[in-house]
Structure 1
Amino acid sequence: MGVIANRIWLPAAAAVPQERGTDYFAPVDGADWSDGFGWHRGFFSSFRLRAGREAWFHFPLPTSILRDGRQQALAEVSLMWEVTDGARIHWLVLQHGGMDRIPLTERETEPDSVAVPFDPPEQWRQYYPSSARRLTTIAFDPLLPLRFGVQLCVGVTAPERDGTIRFYGAGAGFADLD
């Protein structure tokens, strides 16, 4: 892996669900207006996936293919997330140039991750929901030379009962190719 020359991070509101509507998404946290759409909060973006459904979420990552005249390469991608109830991440994929699909994990396999605990200051605690954030970072070895933009695609399923996916953001690390 090359030395990371540039790193970006997108907030949770950048999550774009591929599917929409009440056939896919139930109300989040009792907010009836979120039925079919999900809920973009300042803390995270939540989607309540209905039982028996799969949905894809996309994070379009700003991609610099040249930096100071040097070709760039993708060194790593990251995703901060959590699932509750019946939801689970079942596949991570990277799209390069819109058409090249690069699997980052095996299908039907939750990605490796580490806990990212957060303990808000006591005076603000009442405004923060409890969380069990996870961080997945996938390094590219060899580096992925960039010619086009990239997006991180997250496949989520709720096989047996409704479940919630929360996204806290996604990011990427870039390195000089040469």
Structure 2
Amino acid sequence: MAKLYASWAHGNVVVAESAPGQPVRQGFGSTFRLPKGQGSWFHAPIPTPVLVEDRRATLGKVMVLFDARGTAALTAVHVFDGPNRVKKYENLSVKGDYAHGISDKNQWNVSRDGIAWGVGVTMFFTAGAVDSEIFFSTIGADFYHNI
């Protein structure tokens, strides 16, 4: 029987690949600024139970709790197992506040067996016609183990 294991990382672990300036890190998450017309990748590690009772994990889904403020929008999500990309979601346009709960706009089914190294979630956000912000409260994943 498959057992569920949920793992979450706090939003203050998110790092920007190229967003200008320093993020504001607070007890409840991280806020990044995006100048108008620009975009950046953001990366977050998720603690990963790769082995339980000698069995590799299955990654069920990933969840990102965020608030895309101003004209910011989430346009892509890539999921990695160590150096290997295992799933990608492109051509998204998710705007608004999803920092306080899970909905169909901030979770993605992965269904990948044999997770070996550790899960990372990479997200691309863009800003529209005005300077905008992205706030991350937490990032999580559901894992399954057939034990």
Q: Same fold (TM over 0.5)?
A: yes
Structure with greater strand percent: 2
Equivalent positions of 1:74-89 (< 5 A) are 74-89=59-74
* Deviation readout 1:41-65 (Å, 9 max, x if unpaired): 1122111101121111111112121
The residue type paired with residue 52 of structure 1 is: G
Superposition deviation, residue 110 in structure 1: 2.6
1:90 and 2:83 aligned: no
Change over 3 Å in CA distance of 1:16–1:155 after alignment to 2: same
- For residue 56 of structure 1, the aligned residue among 29, 32, 41 is 41
Structure with greater helix percent: 1
1:168 and 2:130 aligned: no
* Deviation readout 1:68-87 (Å, 9 max, x if unpaired): 22221111111101111121
Check conservation: 2:58, 2:145, Cα contact below 8 A: yes
Alignment correspondent of 2:124:
155
Question: How large is the RMSD of aligned CA atoms in angstroms?
Answer: 2.4
Q: Which moved more, 1:41-50 or 1:91-100?
A: 91-100
Superposition deviation, residue 138 in structure 1: 1.7
Alignment correspondent of 2:9:
10
Alignment correspondent of 1:72:
57
Instruction: Tell me how far apart the structure 2 counterparts of residues 134 and 174 of structure 1 sit (CA, whole Å).
Output: 19
User: Between the two proteins, what is the percent identity of the paired residues?
Assistant: 24
Superposition deviation, residue 134 in structure 1: 5.5
Aligned length: 144
Change over 3 Å in CA distance of 1:101–1:145 after alignment to 2: closer
Equivalent positions of 1:101-112 (< 5 A) are 102-103=87-88, 105-107=89-91, 109-111=92-94
Structure 2 runs not aligned, ≥5 long: none
* Deviation readout 1:4-24 (Å, 9 max, x if unpaired): 5211111111111111xxxx4
Structure 1 runs not aligned, ≥5 long: 26-35, 117-131
TM-score by length of 1: 0.71
Instruction: Tell me how far apart the structure 2 counterparts of residues 74 and 167 of structure 1 sit (CA, whole Å).
Output: 21
1:45 and 2:30 aligned: yes
Check conservation: 2:8, 2:139, Cα contact below 8 A: yes
TM-score by length of 2: 0.84
Instruction: Tell me how far apart the structure 2 counterparts of residues 38 and 80 of structure 1 sit (CA, whole Å).
Output: 17
Check conservation: 1:49, 1:162, Cα contact below 8 A: yes
Superposition deviation, residue 100 in structure 1: 2.4
Instruction: Tell me how far apart the structure 2 counterparts of residues 43 and 74 of structure 1 sit (CA, whole Å).
Output: 26
Q: Secondary structure at the match of 1:13?
A: helix
Check conservation: 1:46, 1:166, Cα contact below 8 A: yes
Determine which structure has more spread, i.e. the larger CA radius of gyration.
1
